[in-house]
Structure 1
């Protein structure tokens, strides 16, 4: 089996350029491919050197407009390893106590925060105060109130806040959005989002409420929440939800195992979604309209997205999500490029407002109104 590293090496810059050109056309953007492939390079320090941080770092090896130049970690051995693996100079290495000193480092433009959810709030604010652009993994915060505080801090510091919504640049996803906007599916009536897997190690941070802020909804569930919004093309106005817990030992108080939730939209469209840590093979989006449909499975995974509509298969090329995301983020930060679906702090706050409402609906058993 080919490894990610093998793929990145074989793909090369020429292949990436070819991939990005169609991505731009599906996004209905008049910007030429060279807008992504040329221009100022975004110099990034990654905070949090775990599995996803490593995935981003490996993907950035093929970026044309983004470069990994620094690290922030609480584990000295990881810093040493990344220094040798990615050629990171000592002066660009920090720990969680001293990273405020990046304000004096002109070689770092932005910090990508890839740490447990509950740590994002304080870390984003500290990076903003240091005068660096912020990229934060999703969910951006553990609730909408904290998310707004983060956005306010970035605005006050005159830095931009972006969130790692990699699916907003994925070619097949963009094609479905394009077709929906073009009216190919007619009036949208229904969306289904199924997101889940069976989680392993019970001691991991995702099952620790103090670090995660919740369970499956604060991890895999956000894909269904965000997907419902960009697939339907509207903001939900009400939500209902039901929580199911089969293992109260593994999934302690405050850690949701499975939540089913339903949305209503202003047009009358409805959505039915599921987020779980207790079932495998759940990675599916289905969008239905009066004139057609789109189905994607897998719909949000790291590997190839596979989908079709009533008109046939989606044939857009496979891209490395994180590679494209980082190059597009450079264009957003430096060129003022506007993505088809926003990836800024306000987009993240909208998701958090929905998640807050889902938790309240599950707790109370009531239909909860949403104002976004």
Structure 2
């Protein structure tokens, strides 16, 4: 099979290679990959800034994959050849609190991922693809959509009438806008681009804040909420900006820390957090049970993922470059021949 493998850190070291097609072992399935989508994590792995000591040489990157079951291993009864499936990022996290070793079982690093013509999945962790989505659409769900769902629904318990601040217009953020809007929440979106804000408004964001025009954007959020702040913040930046998120959150509100675009450390002002009694919770995607529930909700409500661009399998490096440019929505790589 053809597979992209990371021989060393740096995009120039991502190489298209021929590798033996794996065979499923006990409790495993072999998936013929149709499409994958990229997340910021995938770029961070290639750049060597995401747990570099854990990433093996020759890694096949990218978790988010959609495809069809090509072969089942011994003991597998829950899947049949031809079933449409999705990869699940934490392949051992099925339900409940995460175990201390969950990062050791992440697909796309340190375990091989889906940027290949075939991939192995554990039968118990694979997830049915929503029937209303194509494979290219479904490939956007495993990390970005589940992260937003876990932040707002599984942990956040979002209710109609509450308010949600969504930062930026990447994959997680746009899913958060779509979920929150469909669930009856008021959405405030931030971006440095007025054009992207207008496009976020078309997805349901009712209030828009350009953080270049309003560098102290928390003040603008407070103005929009009559000084109260928002119930939920989907925090994708972290770094210095985490203090503004605290200021923008109402008393006893919820900050879902899902990303680190602004850095992996944050100089936190403790007193405003103490006074507000807001909760900051790290969100590292989610478990399989929530993934299945989210997909059922997507089927029922007809949500369609926002795709920025689709690249051919041979153009995987260009897909990473597009991710670097800051797309509006998800960057997808078509792996199979089917236009699904």
The normalised TM-score by structure 1 is: 0.31
The normalised TM-score by structure 2 is: 0.34
Q: Which has the higher helix share?
A: 1
